[in-house]
Structure 1
Amino acid sequence: MNFQIQTGEQLFQFILLVVLIIFAIILLGVVINVFLTAQAILNKRIGIETKSFSLDTWWKKIKGEVPMEMESELMMDHDYDGIRELDNHLPPWWLGMFYAGIVFAVVYMFNYHVWKWSPLQTEEYEIAMNEAAEQKALAQENSPEEAIDESAVELITDETQVTRGKTIYEGNCAVCHGNLGEGGVGPNLTDEFWIHGGSVSSIFQTVKYGVPEKGMISWEATLKPLDIQQVSSFIISLQGTNPPNGKAAQGDKYTPEEAAEPVEAEEVI
């Protein structure tokens, strides 16, 4: 169970609940005191001696203690080298918890395994996963650009979108791959050779997850899916530009498959 107070309203409700519980405890104490007072007055009228309420006496009753003068009645016949044993009963509070545990176990069994009013852990997990999937689908409907991933990304040819990708590239990628894509610490992005694939989906995946073993970080936490699509499309637009000081080719030659129609700006946004 994960209890968190995330808003001021929830904090106010929690404080109000605590105050109500304290008030209920005080009210219960007042009711008990009124009842005991009334009982004492009634007993006095009919000539019955009333013992005043004592916290110590109440606690002994809760623990089920027997007064010292009555211990002889509980003394058992046998003894062990002069050590006698008392036949004490279990404390009322312990018995109460024991019986409450039995009742809870019976209710729990019927609730989960007989009547099946509440779901089991596996069912709760499936319900939570289905709810998460529904929420994800709803979020993707409301924000189509967030639904873009390596399995559904498409090449953008709209000039405005590609220019936006160039800006992202210059701000994040140029330090390793060069301002013109000629390569540096990272590989040349303008030739036909690719280490991790030269399709838009492969480039998207490489940018999104990075290549930690080669020193390239994952940009998933920094760039939005649409940003990664735009920068991937810009990188593809660098093909064949042959900038000066280009780094030697690395990887395998990539031959584009028959591509789908490029995506226009209004289709992405």
Structure 2
Amino acid sequence: MPRDMEGKVALITGTSGVAAATARRLIEAGANVLACGIDETANEALRATVPPVEVQRADMSVPDEVAFCVQRAVERFGGLDILVNAAAIHPFGTVEDTDIATWTRCFSVNVGSIYLTGHFGIPEMRKRGGGSIVNLASVQGHACQKGVAAYAATKGAIHALTRAMALDHAQDKIRVNSVSPGSVRTPMLAVAAKHFDGDDADLDAVFRRFGDAHPLGRIAEAEEVAEMIAFLAGPRAGFCTGGDYLIDGGLTAGIAVK
């Protein structure tokens, strides 16, 4: 495992699923990591399984709480080099049956948190002479299923925001990219399984069904997404900015005609 992030400081939004796997991967690469999440159960689990990680309870859609997290990373580790924006919620519904509060909350968390970490974090990254931002988008921002209007809209917005940030901050030597996974074995995917198959769903069976939709015949593991995030966050991706990187097992490569 290359330790190509020795001494770097990373702030990750979210503490479960891909965020947790990314925390582990960046620490293995030598980074100092502060992970911030609203779910205390997930926070405690991350503290227990990745002891070097610093964990802060925070709602990443609230400006004062995001500003506090950025400042804590700077004070604890001496600066900020990497932002990984993985915080998200995944409501189901059309624009007709999604209530206004849910729609607003989805945008506040999924897109607003990226704006806020950039707003407060980019000045600190500039002091370090540059850095890298990786935003967690989704294949749902490219092509979506029915009944995910709010979630799909936020993921498309993340693609656009990633491009805008990459252009705006290239002169600061801050690279900005996004990753778009297909189905990944995470707590969020378990929620989706129960949405479709009920609370007593056989998760392994549902995950196999989800996997069958991907040409590779399976769903992804969170560690596979974390590996791409680590690549984009680190020096090996030094000429990558403004891009979106699919990690979808071939899901968006074909059409559903048999």
TM-score class, shorter-chain normalisation, is: under 0.3
TM-score by length of 1: 0.20
Structure with the bigger percentage of strand: 2
TM-score by length of 2: 0.20
